[in-house]
Chains A and B, each alone.
Chain A
Amino acid sequence: MNKIERRKFIKLGLYSTAGVLCGSLFAFSKIEQDANVDNYEALLKFDWGFLVDTTRCIGCGACVRACKIENNVPESYFRTWVERYEIDKNGNIRVDSPKGAIESFKTDNFQSEDIVKAFFVPKLCNHCYDSACTQVCPVGATYETPDKVVLIDKERCVGCGYCVQACPYGCRYIDHEKGVADKCTLCYHRIQKGEAPACVNACPRSARIFGNLKDPKSKIRRILDQRRYGQLKPDLGTNPKCFYIGLDKEVV
């Protein structure tokens, strides 16, 4: 093989690797169905749902980091976080989420040999069908979009904090810099473009699944149709839209 051919070969190899990498990044970040949404009727075809497979989560915290960067979440507040549950042989349970697990989990709380069961549970806004936060917002700043995502109109929010009190899941907080309430938007700016939320994209184990609940062919719908799942605090009547596979009774 002469010099020029070798150079050509390496060049081709590099280009194709880069191409495959870019292509895969693009492909994986896309949700199955393009959210082609230029009018109200188009939005009505969607009902965005979220599924967390707790049996797959490894507590790496990549989702928390991705969310922080994507949404510029204020210091010491979280739109999503990961909880760690550890149960020892005496039945003692210890739950923690240091800094929302943004730096993952560094230390053990129990002696490893004593732990009989341990698992991670990622949490985020449940985008409830009957959300308490939408009900209590005095100025109508919190609202539900036609594609069933609960959002905050930050031009209208007065920052009273009533929604923070009303949310049973601790998903809301007051962004003191802007003086308004804030929470997970399911990366609405991304899903509008047909991309997956940042946390879903960042999860290395596909523990977070996002999709259109109205589409019978969507991955989330198929999983929900086949597997057993739970919801957080179903007794409160909020009808949450974040579903959990492998939900333990200890998780609230």
Chain B
Amino acid sequence: MIESANGFVFPNEMHVTWTVMIVLYPYITGMVAGAFIVSSFYHVFGMEKLKPIAKFALVSSFAFLCFATVPLLNHLGSPQRAFNIMLTPNFSSAMSGFGFVYSFYMIIVILEIWFCYREEFIEKYTNSGNVLKKIYYLLLLGNTVQNENTRKYDRKIVVFLAGFGIPVACILHGYVGFLFGSIKANLWWSTPLMFIIFIFSAIVSGLSVLIFLYQLIHWMRKKEIDQRCYELMAKWLWGFMIIAVILELMEILSISYENTERWAVLKQLINGKLWISYVVMQIGLFSIVPFLMLTFTSLLKLNNRIKNILIFCSSGMLLLQVLFMRWNVVIGGQLVSKSMRGFTEYFPGYFDKEGIIVSVIIILVPFLMLRLFDSIFPFFHKKKVRRIFFSEYE
């Protein structure tokens, strides 16, 4: 391409169609899928060390899941017809599966939470007064029987649901990647690797958000964390973030090595509009720095305090990395004109319907919801955790 040819976009491309709301949707579902998979590490793969966060991971997944559709509804031109996607689905479209996959996954998560918390609900049911008792009775669907047999049965069901949920979680999020990856008209999106990259980045964001909140909640409550669990999560995060980042870089490398017309355009995108958000922030600051920090914490013997601070910081940075990644995919792809001769601009605006303030609110609400959930489905067995911690580290 010649330099003077850089400025033409088709007249209808002056406006970016998928806004920051569509950045938030995969970001939130990523955390949903990632957190669920982490909870399954314990339930299905028997990683006992992860027991302290297994329930927390499950409930977090549910809290994020409840809000995953909010950015989508805010973005739809005609949200009043949202259910058309299930009423008159066009199965040749990848998007038509959304309603079904989402609902199916929702059912699995709700069922798993119910079976996980049945014992606690029964305890609360027996110990509470009139109105609460009735609420718990309803929540328990009238079944208040608890004995060795029921516990065994509950456990079996949870293992089954957690196992079955893994592919569904992967589909839920992988399919979002597929939505983008299958758009042949878009040079930046169109790659079969997209859905794999999305699944790995989902696990990274899921692990990051769990590590971040786990540490934060315990700091705020002035409680000790379970060091073994925390470190194991950090190691998993280290591993998954390496795979996620490498996959993405390999994708770029392969496009650049092929050196087709596609690269001629994408090169300009990466060196131009996405230089700050992709190269400097996503790859530079928020991938390489946490990678180094997690390498230190995983391989070196460090003081626990320093180690935990490093892990906490890297989880926060990786949360931002995934957010940048979503931005760079969703917005980046739309900045390239289909004329292959120019790039468009996008800024969400602060107070717009799909602007920055609304986005911040949408991101924060699931966390507030999670706080509320803690009183209904307590995540952490505080006493037990402390006991494990002290017995091992004192």
* Nearest A residue (CB) for B22: A161
Residues on B with C-beta less than 8 A from A162 are 93, 95, 179
Q: With the chains together, A180 CA to B90 CA distance in Å?
A: 17
A170's partner among B81, B94, B339 (CB-CB below 8 A) is B339
Mask: chain A, 209-252; 1 = CB below 8 Å from B; 0 = not: 00000000000000000000000000011000000000000001
Q: With the chains together, A173 CA to B344 CA distance in Å?
A: 15
Judge whether B93 and A136 touch: CB under 8 Å: yes
B185's partner among A99, A165, A179 (CB-CB below 8 A) is A165
A160 located at the interface, meaning its Cβ lies under 8 Å from any Cβ of chain B in the complex:
yes
Q: How many residue pairs between the two chains, A and B, have CB atoms under 8 Å in the bound complex? A: 141
Q: Which of B77, B88, B337 has the most CB of A within 10 A?
A: B77
Count of chain A residues near B, Cβ 8 A: 51
B295 located at the interface, meaning its Cβ lies under 8 Å from any Cβ of chain A in the complex:
no
Mask: chain A, 139-168; 1 = CB below 8 Å from B; 0 = not: 111000000000000001111111011111
A9 located at the interface, meaning its Cβ lies under 8 Å from any Cβ of chain B in the complex:
no
Cβ distance A91 to chain B, nearest Cβ, rounded Å: 7
Residues on A with C-beta less than 8 A from B179 are 162
Binds A, one of B1-9, B111-119, B147-155: B1-9
Residues on A with C-beta less than 8 A from B12 are 77-78, 164, 170-173
Judge whether B5 and A93 touch: CB under 8 Å: yes
Residues on B with C-beta less than 8 A from A164 are 12, 17
A97 located at the interface, meaning its Cβ lies under 8 Å from any Cβ of chain B in the complex:
yes
B216 located at the interface, meaning its Cβ lies under 8 Å from any Cβ of chain A in the complex:
no
Judge whether A159 and B13 touch: CB under 8 Å: no
Q: With the chains together, A122 CA to B75 CA distance in Å?
A: 32
> Knowing that A138-B90, A162-B179 are A-B contacts, what are 6 other residue pairs whose CB atoms are under 8 Å apart, sorted by A's residue number?
A92-B2, A96-B8, A136-B183, A156-B81, A156-B88, A158-B85
Partner-A contacts on B (CB < 8 A): 2-5, 7-15, 17-18, 75-79, 81-82, 84-85, 87-90, 92-96, 98, 179, 183-186, 334, 337-341
22 interchain pairs, CB-CB under 8 A: A81-B11, A91-B2, A92-B3, A92-B4, A92-B5, A94-B5, A97-B11, A99-B11, A136-B93, A138-B89, A138-B95, A138-B98, A157-B77, A157-B81, A158-B77, A159-B76, A159-B77, A162-B95, A170-B9, A170-B11, A178-B77, A252-B338
